[in-house]
Structure 1
């Protein structure tokens, strides 16, 4: 009996894991939108929540960063700002970078394991086609770096698409992390200064971040294409 069950689990392990991943995304969506969205959108409330875990607060924040990458609908920028507010710019940025990198690797592995049919269930065809075209337009490492460097682009979704592309896990992990570094540490720095007296500096950073984010959302695709074309002509 037990051996029969074990054999069935081994036989259908792919489907079992797929169901678990989909359930995780559904439950995360429900929990976020109906229970915790007000916390994740408010650094002060998030700080209270994180610090309530005492000596495990760093681990809890790390796990939240992993989860917000896998459950890509959770706004990562707010959590990054909260990391700086809670732990300071340096430590907060490092924890965020570690958690986000870990989450990105997990996303890549999930997509790589279940293939394109799975990714097409959670990512729009338009985004998949865009990334596939961009990856063919120039050096894949350079493209990945740009995708994760430019604010406003759906970085966490790109992780799923990269998992079913021919870019290696090593290159994805290295160049997506390098691209994320500036944005993560600027957000952490902003969070660390949120309640200081230097309002002029905070307003300046907030305005610049907002402008870059809007440009990235509206023109990110075109910017990447132009940079890649210029890069190819320079060779």
Structure 2
């Protein structure tokens, strides 16, 4: 029997620490502070209490909600618009969300399928890999991040064990996220201005798009790819 050397299990130890960290952050931010995530006004008070460091705290919150993907991200994006307005709220959210996505991608890239299968069901991973193989992976990643209703934050981990490069993932996922982030920030900004009519219209429109994305997202992607193939022919 060979001599035990902890260095031989370095990868397993780091993987275990990541999983424990993932579970702890999820508990702290979702179960203990979920009431704040659902209330932009209370969240604003907390962010503003950090003074000039408030923006960094908000960016960190965005990074965390992407990495721990079951934390509802749309509410945090809305809070960004409520706190900082449409333009700055969109930019700040985009920075945090994209950094979170790149971290998720990188974690999956380094630790591979064993880690991803522990946080996302194997069935869901295989389902998305099937979609990613329908055509140009860059184009499909763009569509997946663009269409509402698709679990975008979990998708970062799935892309990390796919063939898309880090550079292309950063580019296409970021571009596709911009419209949704702007709409969420605009919605948040109008909460502060109490524009009830605009809020209702946005809420109805985004809810409808979300439902369509959940029910028909995969079909929409297939139809777009099929149409593009026919145009090329």
Question: Greater shift after overlay, 18-27 or 110-119?
Answer: 18-27
Helix, strand or coil at the partner of 1:194: helix
Displacement of 1:92 in angstroms is: 0.8
Question: Greater shift after overlay, 33-42 or 167-176?
Answer: 33-42
2:31, 2:105 → 1: CA distance? Answer: 28
Q: Is the 8 A contact 1:138 1:232 kept in 2?
A: no
Matches within 5 A, 1:39-188: 39-188=36-185
Which of 201, 211, 215 is equivalent to 1:214? 211
Runs of 5+ in structure 1 lacking a partner? Answer: 1-6
Equivalent in the alignment of 1:4: none
1:202, 1:156 → 2: CA distance? Answer: 25
2:115, 2:121 → 1: CA distance? Answer: 11
2:231, 2:119 → 1: CA distance? Answer: 37
Helix, strand or coil at the partner of 1:65: helix
Deviations 1:56-87 (A, max 9, x none): 10000000000000000000000000000001
Normalising by structure 2, report the TM-score. Answer: 0.93
Aligned pair count reads 228
Deviations 1:178-209 (A, max 9, x none): 11000001100110111324321221111101
1:13, 1:106 → 2: CA distance? Answer: 20
1:116, 1:61 → 2: CA distance? Answer: 30
2:80, 2:194 → 1: CA distance? Answer: 19
1:197, 1:54 → 2: CA distance? Answer: 25
Two-structure CA RMSD over aligned residues (Å): 1.4
